[in-house]
Amino acid sequence: MDSGFIGLIILLLLLLCAAALLMSRDWRWVMGALGLQYFLAFLLVSSSWPLELAAVKLVAGWMAGAVLALTRMNLAIEPEEATKRLPTSPAFLVLSTFLVLLVVSGAAPALADWARQMSINQAWGGLILIGLGLLQVGLSGSNFRSVVGLLCLLSGFEILYAAVEASLLVAALLGVLNLGVGLAGSYLLQTPGTEQLE
Amino acid sequence: MNSAIIWILLPGLLGIGLLLYRPRDRFPQILAGLLSLFLTWIAWQLPIDVVLNIGPFSFEIFPSLSFFGRSFTLTSAAQPLLTFIYFFQTLWIAGTVVAKPAKPFVPISMICVSLFVAALSVDPFLYAAILIALAILALIPLLSLAGEKVRPGVLRFMIFQIFAVPFILFTGWILSGVEASPGNLDLILRSGLLLLLGFTFLLGLFPFHSWIPMLARESHPYVVGFLLFFLPTISTVFALGFFDRYAWLRESQFVYQILTLIGGLSVLLSGLWAFVERHLGRLLGYAAMMGVGFSLLGIGQGVSQGAQLFFALLLPQSLGLWVLAVSLGSLNNKKVDLSLDGIADAFADSPLTVIGLILAVFSLAGLPLLASFPPRVDLLANLSTSAPWAAIIALLGSLGLAVAGVKLVLAVIRRSSKPQSGWVEEIETEAAAKAGETKDPFAWAFIILAGVGFLGFGLFSRFFLASVPDFASMFPLLFP
């Protein structure tokens, strides 16, 4: 599934999704990108895991996204981005994304070379999501964006970990963890607002 | 009957059930408290994997439960730890009578404890990282109450704890490679670094500790106390599992030196921060950080000795944290400002709670006659020969917390000796109204338990520490 031209397309789409998660200001686009990202991650995972096991990740991710989206949709007040400590202009975010890509371009081949079970596309996909998820968590000024960043990061990790560990219990536990992060994020979203970071 | 069903599923299901219980009475506290006490008793008294005959009936507690192709195993070696966990869970539930945290505390704490026990029993043990993260997520509604403003500490805490999961899981995978080729230094270095990062996030060690004081200031002190009691304890026992499992880790002197360095740094920094701190919620956070530092210093003493010192330090540290959390929770519940001045003002109204608070701070600082003193002396004696610099910085750190306790006492004395102004009748009526706590049987029960616990442990430490080898025996290779 993740080899050759199709693999390249999956990676490009994954990069676009992760970049959309980082840059889009409209939560509907963010949730759409998150849903698509889980599908692409499922495609990458399915090359190492049986389809039905890989589907657990897809379903858990979509459920976490759905919980967040439903909560966000039902919020009476538009939550504000609490902090403006770091620049969030599109130019800065594009540059940061390129920086992450630069790091990934160095790390992914080395990782795939070192961990033989991992394909190069899985290494690229996993590291892109981890890098951009980390960036999102670090730059975000709202609970919503932080939680989306965490889900993105976890998704990237799951792509890499799926290549080295194919256990039913791990799939179930990581699925529950994704759902738990989604639920915790949705709980935090329903509260009045976030205070300024120290 | 199966041990996993008894100590994991039963409390977890009870917790979920109690979450649905609506009336605002003490039924959840009583039920969960009784179950915890019962689980403590059977962990203490009933053997696992032995057929027991009671009259015409015979039954056996099986040690392992298969689940999704893996297993949750609680053998007889884990029984001392199970006794400890459920005994303290009983205390945490009992403490809610005085500290009065939010209503879901009891059910959520039961769910968390069941997840923590699941983390200690899951095989392969690496999956514990995910179960610990799930327990952390379950605590979020208590740390940030519904309808209240979300403070940054809770989000940072959640993020840092989730960060720990990938590091630890990847380490496990790399470590299996290290086992296959033990001479591969590259693999050893990578796995060591990932393991260090994972546990630095999990235990809130410097420089990823910032969530501890933030959370300690923002959330209910009793909930934070519960978190800072169970999270480091379970995570450190989980970390000891790595030492027990992997020979190269157990036999590496460099690893013990690193642990001593990190532990010493944690004790020193938390002591210095406690010294300058004026908010007692944050002081609770620093005291917990110091406990983690001492635990690492203990483990850093190497095979056999390390596991024993860790468990010896754990018992008094746990008691100190519980008393400190109950005191702060009670004061917080009375809307007392948790600053030095606020506590000094509260002394007239809540003398028993403030005395408990002061005793807890001094015990956690390791003052003579109190609970933490005997194992700390043992540790410092060991350190003075193996790493004298670590002994000195550990002493300095302890001194920092002790001075924070002295500052608290001075604030109380200064406020008490201040002459009161007003009409005599007014002052007498006010004093009579303020004596409320001395008529509260729960407050008396709490202070008597705290006093007897601290002094009993401090004076008759040999009696309590006799059980330490039983605890350490759950790591047969680490403690041969």
Give the HSE-up count for residue B163: Cα atoms under 13 Å, Cβ half-sphere: 24
Q: Domain for residue A112, yes or no?
A: yes
Boundaries of domain holding A160: 3-190
Closest-CA residue in chain A for B213? A198
Q: Domain for residue A11, yes or no?
A: yes
Would you call B184 an interface residue with chain A, using a CB distance cutoff of 8 Å? no
Closest-CA residue in chain B for A136? B159
- Structure confidence at residue A3 (pLDDT): 64
Look at B149 and A192 and tell me if their CB atoms are within 8 Å.
yes
A183 vs B contacts (CB less than 8 Å): 137
Closest-CA residue in chain B for A171? B68
Look at A197 and B152 and tell me if their CB atoms are within 8 Å.
yes
B97-106 b/e with 16+ CB inside 10 Å = b?
bbbbbbbbbb
Identify the three-state secondary structure at position A168. Answer: helix
Provide, rounded to the nearest whole percent, the portion of chain A with pLDDT above 90. Answer: 55
Closest-CA residue in chain A for B210? A198
Sequence-separated (6 or more) residues with CB below 8 Å from residue A144: A27, A30, A68, A72, A79, A185, A189
Would you call B140 an interface residue with chain A, using a CB distance cutoff of 8 Å? yes
Any bridge partners for residue B57, and if so which? B54
- Structure confidence at residue B245 (pLDDT): 84
- Determine the longest span between alpha carbons in chain A, in angstroms: 50
Q: Domain for residue A197, yes or no?
A: no
Q: Domain for residue A196, yes or no?
A: no
Would you call B70 an interface residue with chain A, using a CB distance cutoff of 8 Å? yes
- Structure confidence at residue A39 (pLDDT): 95
Number of A to B CB contacts under 8 A, please give it: 100
B68 vs A contacts (CB less than 8 Å): 167-169, 172
- Determine the longest span between alpha carbons in chain B, in angstroms: 83
Domains contained in chain A, number: 1
Q: Domain for residue A105, yes or no?
A: yes
Give the pair of three-digit tokens for residue B313.
């330090």
Identify the three-state secondary structure at position A54. Answer: helix
Query: What pTM, to 2 d.p., does this model score?
Result: 0.91
SS3 annotation, chain B: CEHHHHHHHHHHHHHHHHHCCCCCCCHHHHHHHHHHHHHHHHHHHCCCCCEEEECCEEEECECEEEECCEEEECCHHHHHHHHHHHHHHHHHHHHHHHHCCCCCHHHHHHHHHHHHHHHHHEECHHHHHHHHHHHHHHHHHHHCCCCCCECHHHHHHHHHHHHHHHHHHHHHHHHHHHHHCCCCHHHHHHHHHHHHHHHHHHHCCCCCCCHHHHHHHHCCHHHHHHHHHHHHHHHHHHHHHHHHHCHHHHCCHHHHHHHHHHHHHHHHHHHHHHHHCCEHHHHHHHHHHHHHHHHHHHHCCCCCHHHHHHHHHHHHHHHHHHHHHHHHHHHHHCCCCCEHHHHHHHCCCCHHHHHHHHHHHHHHHCCCCCCCHHHHHHHHHHHHHHCHHHHHHHHHHHHHHHHHHHHHHHHHHHHHHCCCCCCHHHHHHHHHHHHHHHHCHHHHHHHHHHHHHHHHHHHCHHHHHCCHHHHHCCCCCCCC
Any bridge partners for residue B70, and if so which? B67
Nearest CB neighbour to B144, from listed A150, A154, A191: A191
- Of residues A84 and B323, more confidence is placed in B323
Nearest CB neighbour to A165, from listed B122, B147, B173: B173
Q: Tell me the pLDDT band of A86, cut-offs 50, 70 and 90.
A: low
Would you call B119 an interface residue with chain A, using a CB distance cutoff of 8 Å? no
**How far, in Å, CA of B217 to CA of B219, rounded?**
6
B67 vs A contacts (CB less than 8 Å): 169
B159 vs A contacts (CB less than 8 Å): 137, 146, 150
Q: Tell me the pLDDT band of A83, cut-offs 50, 70 and 90.
A: low
Look at B137 and A188 and tell me if their CB atoms are within 8 Å.
no
Look at A170 and B155 and tell me if their CB atoms are within 8 Å.
no
- Structure confidence at residue B123 (pLDDT): 84
Lowest mean pLDDT among A72-81, A151-160, A163-172, B79-88: A72-81
In order along chain B (480 residues), what is the average pLDDT of each group of 10 residues? 90 94 87 95 88 80 83 89 95 92 93 95 88 95 86 90 92 79 79 90 91 92 95 93 84 89 94 92 94 94 84 92 94 86 84 92 93 92 92 95 93 75 56 65 88 89 81 77
Instruction: Check if the beta carbon of residue B434 is closer than 8 Å to that of residue B47.
Output: no
**How far, in Å, CA of A185 to CA of A154, rounded?**
14
Look at B140 and A174 and tell me if their CB atoms are within 8 Å.
no
Nearest alpha carbon to residue B304 among B261, B251, B377, B263: B251
- Structure confidence at residue B438 (pLDDT): 76
The rounded Cα B281 to chain-centroid distance in angstroms is 15
Nearest alpha carbon to residue A57 among A37, A35, A47, A42: A42
Which site among A159, A188, A189 would you substitute to test the B interface, given the most B Cβ atoms closer than 10 Å to its Cβ?
A: A188
Q: Domain for residue A195, yes or no?
A: no
Q: Domain for residue A144, yes or no?
A: yes
Closest-CA residue in chain B for A181? B137
Long-range contacts (CB closer than 8 Å, 24 or more residues apart) made by A139-142: A139/A22, A139/A86, A139/A88, A139/A93, A139/A96, A140/A81, A141/A81, A141/A82, A141/A83, A141/A84, A141/A85, A141/A88, A141/A194, A141/A197, A142/A79, A142/A80, A142/A81, A142/A82, A142/A194
Instruction: Check if the beta carbon of residue B359 is closer than 8 Å to that of residue B405.
Output: no
Look at A191 and B149 and tell me if their CB atoms are within 8 Å.
yes
B16 vs A contacts (CB less than 8 Å): none
Query: Per residue in A98-114, pLDDT tens?
Result: 999 999 999 999 988 88
Q: What is the ipTM of this complex?
A: 0.90
A153 vs B contacts (CB less than 8 Å): 162, 166
- Of residues B49 and A68, more confidence is placed in A68
Closest-CA residue in chain A for B127? A170
- Residue A152 to chain B, least CA–CA distance (Å): 12
Q: In B, residues 197-236, which contact A (CB 8 Å cutoff)? A: 214
